[in-house]
Amino acid sequence: MIRQLGLPTWFGSLSSADTNWKDLLRILGKLNDGKEYTDSELKEMNWNQKSKLVQKDPVTCSRYFDYRVQQFINLVLKSDHDPIGKLTDYFYRVEFQQRGSPHIHILIWIENAPVYESDSNEDVVAFIDKYVSCSLSENNTSLVNLQVHKHSKTCRKKGHPICRFGFPLPPMKATVILEPLKENDDIEKYKAIYKEIQNEINSLHNSEDIDQMTYDMFLDDVLQMNDENYIKAIRSNLSGPKVFLKRKPSEVRVNGYMKTVLIAWQANHDLQFV
């Protein structure tokens, strides 16, 4: 497909939320317990009770996930509203994480989308900002909270102390595409600075005024560093070009999301510009 269509526009993942999807839990209750649970009954269930419902019928859970993916692609992504741009083609595969719930990885091609290095960085950034956000200030906080990263065994494989997904991510004043520092740009000096920055970012959740902290306050009061050195330190840790979303200090653990996608899918997702 890449040979025929060129590079895709988005690379994404859609996770399952077996214990949160009420319609699935109702189906499982009817099939396995012979009971149609009400909203209030589902709300009163704890996580263990919901998990037992899911564990009783993995086949129905998998079939439901497949159906939900198909409906999501056809009714949301392909809709005339173009929530992520006008979709021209896609390819996805289903995976099961450690014999658990399914998730998909998907490549998506969008009509007339900007292409990195062919179009200007300004055009690419404007395209990304049109669809992707990591803001915690959205009205539907319960859905946005689905995007908050929590470290688990899967992000620290083989005893590696650093999250392989890069969380927490550095605050940014605006969305930007950064490239690696050149070898002659004091790279070792800035790598050492980056380690100090990481330690400060990891400690941000302990700050009492984190919700009021701005990007400038983070640089001036926490790091006591100027913007140029901060950006160079981040670049020193890159192996290739990377998009960094506009991000407040309070949002360093929020995975980027597309508002319409989050509302429709109602589970964690990840969509990145390729």
> Do residues 7 and 122 share a domain?
yes
- Decide if pLDDT at 246 tops 60: yes
> Do residues 143 and 157 share a domain?
no
- Decide if pLDDT at 155 tops 60: yes
Give per-residue pLDDT as tens, 197-226: 999 998 887 777 888 899 999 999 999 999
CB 111 within 8 A of CB 89: no
> Do residues 128 and 14 share a domain?
yes
> Do residues 118 and 201 share a domain?
no
- Segment 37-65 mean pLDDT: 94
Mean pLDDT, all residues of the chain: 89
> Do residues 117 and 57 share a domain?
yes
Looking at residue 114, its amino acid is P
Show the domain range for 160.
151-253
> Do residues 73 and 166 share a domain?
no
What pLDDT does 49 receive?
Answer: 94
What pLDDT does 136 receive?
Answer: 82
> Do residues 6 and 135 share a domain?
yes
> Do residues 38 and 133 share a domain?
yes
CB 28 within 8 A of CB 61: yes
What pLDDT does 263 receive?
Answer: 85
**pLDDT bracket for residue 268 (50, 70, 90):** confident
List, in sequence order, every beta strand (DSSP E) within the chain: 10-15, 87-96, 102-110, 176-178, 242-244, 269-273
- Cα(37)–Cα(234) distance, rounded to whole angstroms? 50
> Do residues 10 and 74 share a domain?
yes
**pLDDT bracket for residue 66 (50, 70, 90):** very high
Task: Specify the number of domains making up the chain.
Answer: 2
> Do residues 112 and 158 share a domain?
no
The CA-atom distances, in angstroms, between 5 and each of 1, 13, 93, 110 are 6, 20, 18, 10
> Do residues 30 and 144 share a domain?
yes
- More confident: 52 or 99: 52
170: cis peptide before it, omega within 30°?
A: no
> Do residues 210 and 261 share a domain?
no
